[in-house]
Chains A and B, each alone.
Chain A
Amino acid sequence: MATSRSLLRFPLRLIGPAMLFLHFFSIVFSANPAFAASRPDTLKIGVLAPLSGPYAAGGTSFVQAAKLAVEQVNAEGGVFGQPVTIVVGDTQGRVDVAKAEALRLVSREKVAALVGAYLSEETVGAMEVAAAQRTVLLVPVAATAEITDKVRKEYARYRYIFRVGYSLPQWAEMIGAFLSDRKVRRYAFVGAGIRWNRELGETLDRLVAPRGITPAYTAYYSPGNPAFDTVAVAAAAASPDIVILADPGRNSVSFLKRLREVAPALPALSVGGALGDVRLAASVPLSAPVYVQAAAWRGVSPAATAYVERYERRYGAPPVGYSDTLPYDAVMVLAAAWRKAGSAASEAVVPVLEHGTFAGAAGHYRFDTAHQAIWGTEPGALRGTFVRWERGGARIVFPLR
């Protein structure tokens, strides 16, 4: 009898620990985002951007714009009636961290697609993860040719990668058209000595040569200790019609101040970035034209104006038109592709992205066979815009619509 009672008591004793065990797991499952992500009530986009380190300024704008786009998508009813959310991975401007964060977002956070990264080097690392995990990756700003070259050469592996932003040849083509419009014959090209700048400078030299436009001076300074005074004096001494400033960061402001001191009447063109910021532009001497290239600007189109106004309302200052506008458009393109595909599955979304047209703040996006968005001067291409800073704001000068 005693034996049967103890046998009965044993399972009864298990009930308490079992309840505790179940309770513990219910807490863990509901709190852990990885488990929460498996619920199909939200669609997640992984955003890769540097939120710390030397590129934090660009990375923050990047994430702000992506958040704004998600808010817009959700205001339009979400995708398949589900809200869209973003999960951010801080890449810190480092390739290894970008790869680790991309893997975390895909495998643990269960994101349906990735948007990013910021630097070309980071993006090349992240695209390896996206290809291995068969996850769609939209590249907003990284411009290196390596991204689309890989899609072209190894389509089966890299077919999930699409670049929304402009490639270096497209960038150079748009700058060349602007230089022709301004009747520039000789230009100085100045930028930080990084691979991206050299590629842009060399491509521009090659593309504008047939138009009779030649480089008068080319210099790449060390980002660690940029010898701005020397470069500004040498650039001015070469007597160019314009100085092209290929530095999207804070150094562009420092250099422009030096340039204005030694050559107050020499026009300058920033290829985008910090000098698109109205707060910075206000401190730069405007004794000669300061032009900035951007993907979109207020007044270019109703969509661009609506985006700029939303951004300004949300963050207190207008976007710079590049590292914020292109991530915004990447999220809008992705959401539109999901809707058209009727699914967020990568295999369903890729053909839709390959053959569809998608609206964004900068215009209508189409992708070529290398999954590069079509920018440039051809009819139907996204054209970007060039603005000139004036006291009180910027005026669109090219292309005039």
Chain B
Amino acid sequence: MHIPDGYLSPQTYAPLYGASFIFWGLALKRVRRELSARQVPYLAMAAAFSFLIQMFNFPAPGGTSGHVVGGAIIAILLGPWTAVIALSVVLLIQAVVFGDGGITALGANCCNMAVAMPFVSYGVFKLVRGARARGRRLSIAAFLAGYIGLCASAVLAGVEFGIQPLIAKAPDGRPLYAPYPLKVAVPAMALEHLFFFGIVEGLITALLVGYIIKNEPALVHALKEERQGEEKIAGNQG
């Protein structure tokens, strides 16, 4: 899902850079306000985790390969804004040091994987989990958060690829950038994530979120609001 340089026209990557800048600015502001000193090491570990988990390319049926992102886990554990920072840092390192994803496409890749994914995942998790659910409902919520988050991000990348032939053609009619139209690029990106990588992302999210909620619930951002609610109730009673 790491779009390389040259696949996107400037008409596509420039606005997506702009959108990313807005989210980076907002995220930095929020993280500086809300992140406690105690959470900083976890943020660093979250970024390292996402980087490492993305190195595990595995083969998918159909002959392609791919990897999970870990965006849902970070969004649930540290909050979606913090996830924007962690995942953007990972994408920046991948592009600059390892040539994974283009420099011009960094804004697009951040929009897909570092913005859309954590917010979609976080929203799905909150929605499905409902009020204070534990056990199976929580696992399902975490699974769907990873699954839908990754698929959403893949579909976005598919749309960005697919609109290129509409945007720019050489005088001889050949596409200048990513050559496949929407009806090829979107299904290609969507299907392998819907049927394969999304499921793996969902399973890993459910496993890790379940483990950490069980063992270190105090760390989990998604539980923070209800924790504060409980403290208030306890305070009123005391």
Do these two chains really belong together in a complex?
no
